Structures are given as structure tokens and as C-alpha cells.
Amino acid sequence: MRLDEAAAGLYLPILYRLGRRPYPALVRDLTVSERLDPERLQALQLARLQALVTHCYEHVPYYRRLFDGLGAQPDDIRSLEDYARLPVLEKETLRAELPSLTSTNEHGRRLMRSVATSGSTGTPLVYQYDPRYFLYGWAALMRNIGWTGFRLGERQAWFAFSAPGGTKRAVRLWLERKWLAKELAFDEEMIDRWARHLARWQPRFVYGAPSSRLAPIAAHMLAHDIRPVGIRSVMTSSEMLTEGLRRLLEQAFEAKVFNQYGSTECLSIASECEAGSMHVNAEVNLVEYVRLDWTQEAHAVVVTPLMNYGIPLLRYVLRDLSDDLPGACACGRTLPRMHPLLGRADSSVTLSDGRTLTPFAMEGLVARVPGIVQYQYRQIAPDAFDLLIVSPPESRDSVRSALADLDERFTTSTGGNAHFNVRFVDTIARTKGGKHLFVVPLGEARRHET
């Protein structure tokens, strides 16, 4: 460990405690609870859930109304099965009912840090965090980062969409040995600067969105023979991680890649361990997988942030599809596991017969084909798609043969109408905000022409 990292490792716990952010202590608690017997872990979840529901009934007008309407009392919830009978909360309802979903006691008065998030309709929603939940949520993410081998005080490079901060924040980042690339838009020159910074500054840990942020940097490093030194792990978040992307990042950064799944409102929901399982941060988020109208055969991820009392979200629907993955993990942690994400619902497309096609089928078909670095489905007619693929020239033959029977499978799985053509391209254009889209529905395709 370098001198600055060793020093930061010593003073950071004291600084966090002085700033009333006892992260090291919270992370220590979490490293105990992540190995509890499943029954004890469930009991912990249920106790936190019952406390939250009681708070909602007493101090949150929306939930008081809901319970009264159902003729129910918080005491009626004696198990997770009882809880699963409550209706789910959609983002549209959160937007419309924000004032009545805000707690009327001190939890609702101490909200911090507004964040904007966009729903399926693209309308932004401004959400505010409960400071205590934010603390627990960050501690859970720090625990997840610890699973990658990272230790407090080590240098970390973050490529994250983040609000600009003042001098105080800049000082804190410096003390935390945390470098943040927060530019939304970037060009080749910026990518070159980032890549050389990583090689020179030598962080141990790199965090960022795999397609829109880390892939261009990784490709640039390989093309210009820029070797990173000492990166131990890379954490990807916010976007689907394909097998091809994982391999590209592991090759360029010479480090193991860990995928993490979260949302603006629910913070870190699940994260990969050394053994490759996505473990749910069950102490802070209760996760359910629920079949809803739009999910067809699949299940939507439904989350209840257990420590969030400011604007509580009971059974909050995320537009992501996944499922429970039963069985024990080789790492020894008992936290429940989830399937790697199977798709986002925001990019659903409508076929000529009026049926909606979720990305579940579309993404599931290509996400595991080795050699695909990036892909995008573009709907060019109601039943026709271009499948754009970025793949190294030497992998194209194997990708092509892996996809050979895919059109047929795709046609079958969509009910016999839809077809797609594979097109190999060098790059796939990003949106103005720098995001990579996996599915571009008809009508929007024109705006994303390369």
C-alpha cells in the first residue's frame, strides 16, 4: 500500500465519525449480517419492515389512506407473505403523490440532496433522500466495494454521472483518495486524458457505467497500448453488462470486473461477490420479483428500502426484470441472490399486432454471446429490427455463427412476426446525455442515427 493510501486508511474512520458518517462501523455490522442464518436474516428484515410500515401508517398520509382503504392495520403484517399482499407503488404514483408520500414528522423535514430520475414516460422526477437511509445505502455500497478486495483509503477512480460539488466536497474527495470524472459529454481527447490519468495515478478501484463510460476508455487503452498499473477491481453499474463488455474491461484494465445493480431511489440493491453471484443488500432493501401486466412471463424487480423514512417507498416497482436465484453461494455469504438483470422495461417496443415486446427476450438472446462488446436493437419497421453489433474483427465470425439461428429463435419467441438483421458497426452513437441505449423503439430510431 502506498503512503497516501496507508495514511488515508488511518484517518478516514476518524473523519467519518467526526462528520457523523460512521461508515466503517456500519460496514462492520453488515459484514456480520451478510453471513447470518437465512432465518435470522429474514427476521431482521421483517423487524425493520414492521417498524417502517408502522411509521408509514402513523406519519405518511398516502399510506394511512391506503391502509384505511384496505381496512388493514400495520399489525396485520406478520410475515413477508402478508406484506406481499399490499399493492405495488409505480413511479408515476410516486411522482403524482410526492407530497402525501412525504413523512409529516422529522424524517420528512430533514430531507437532503435532490436527485432527478426519469420514468418510463421520460418525465423527470425530483426525489430527496432521507439522510439516515443515504448513510445506510452508502454503507451497503461500501460493503459491496469491499467484496472486490478494496480497502478503505486506497485510491479510487469514479466515472459517474454526478452533481457538481463545492470546495468542501472537493476536499473530502481528496481526503478519501477518490478521483471523480463527472463530465457528461466527452470526446476522444477527454478519453485519452482519462486513460493516461488512470495509468499515471494508479487507482486500485475503478467504478463506472460499462457501455457509455468504461468501454470507450478500455478500447482506447488497448488501441494505444496504455497499460494501467495496479488496478485490482472494476465495478460496473447503471447499464447492462454483457459478457463481451466484461471481457473487454478485464483485458484493458487487467482487473476483475464486478457488476453492481442499483437505482437512484433505492441506492445499491445488489452486487457481485468474488464467486460471481449477485447478492441482494437485504439488510437495507427488501427485494421481491413480481409478475405485472407489462412483464409478461418475466418478473419486475420490486424494492422496499427498509431504512428510508423520509419519503418511504413500499413495494416500489423498478422497470427492470430479474428473478430470485435460489441456492447457496461459494463465497459463504447468506444474502439472497438475484439473477443477472434480464432487461429494462423502459425500452419496450410495440409490434404490428399491438403486442408489447419487453427487452427481456431481446437482450437475453444476445447478452451471453462471447465477442459482443456492445449492441443495440433498432426497430426500423413495426416488425423489423437492425441489430447493431460492435465486435473486434477477429471475433466477428464466431459472433456471426452464434447468431445464425437467432433470427429464427427471435421470430418464434415474438410470436412469428418479428425479424432482425445483424449489422457489424465500429461504434454505436450515444444519447446526448452520454447513455447507451440497448433498444431503440420505432420513431426514436431517427434521432439515434450514426
Site of interaction with Zn ion (CB under 5 A): 273, 275, 277, 329, 331, 333
Q: With respect to Zn ion, which residue has the nearer C-beta, 194 or 258?
A: 258
Q: With respect to Zn ion, which residue has the nearer C-beta, 135 or 331?
A: 331
**Cell triple for residue 55?**
411509521
Q: Could you tell me the smallest distance in angstroms from the CB atom of residue 272 to Zn ion? A: 8
Q: Could you tell me the smallest distance in angstroms from the CB atom of residue 276 to Zn ion? A: 7
Q: Could you tell me the smallest distance in angstroms from the CB atom of residue 199 to Zn ion? A: 31
Each as own residue / partner, the long-range contacts of residues 50-53 (CB below 8 Å, 24 or more positions apart, any chain) are: 50/74, 50/77, 52/304, 52/306, 52/307, 52/308, 52/309, 52/312, 52/314, 53/77, 53/83, 53/314
**Cell triple for residue 369?**
454471446
Run of H or E residues at 200: helix 188-201
Q: With respect to Zn ion, which residue has the nearer C-beta, 184 or 275?
A: 275
Run of H or E residues at 40: helix 38-59
Q: Could you tell me the smallest distance in angstroms from the CB atom of residue 447 to Zn ion? A: 41
In sequence order, what DSSP letters do the residues of 72-125 get, joined into one string?
Answer: --GGG--SHHHHTTSPPB-HHHHHHTHHHHS-SSHHHHS-EEEEEEE-TT--EE
Q: With respect to Zn ion, which residue has the nearer C-beta, 274 or 386?
A: 274
Q: With respect to Zn ion, which residue has the nearer C-beta, 94 or 280?
A: 280
Q: Could you tell me the smallest distance in angstroms from the CB atom of residue 274 to Zn ion? A: 7
CA 389 to chain centre: 23
For residues 234 and 251, the answer to whether their CB atoms sit within 8 Å is no
Q: With respect to Zn ion, which residue has the nearer C-beta, 86 or 273?
A: 273
Q: With respect to Zn ion, which residue has the nearer C-beta, 143 or 344?
A: 143
Q: For residue 268, which phi and psi values (nearest 5 degrees)?
A: -80, 120
Run of H or E residues at 318: strand 316-321
Q: Could you tell me the smallest distance in angstroms from the CB atom of residue 249 to Zn ion? A: 20
Q: Could you tell me the smallest distance in angstroms from the CB atom of residue 235 to Zn ion? A: 15
Answer left, alpha or beta for residue 97, where phi above 0 means left and psi between -120 and 50 means alpha: alpha
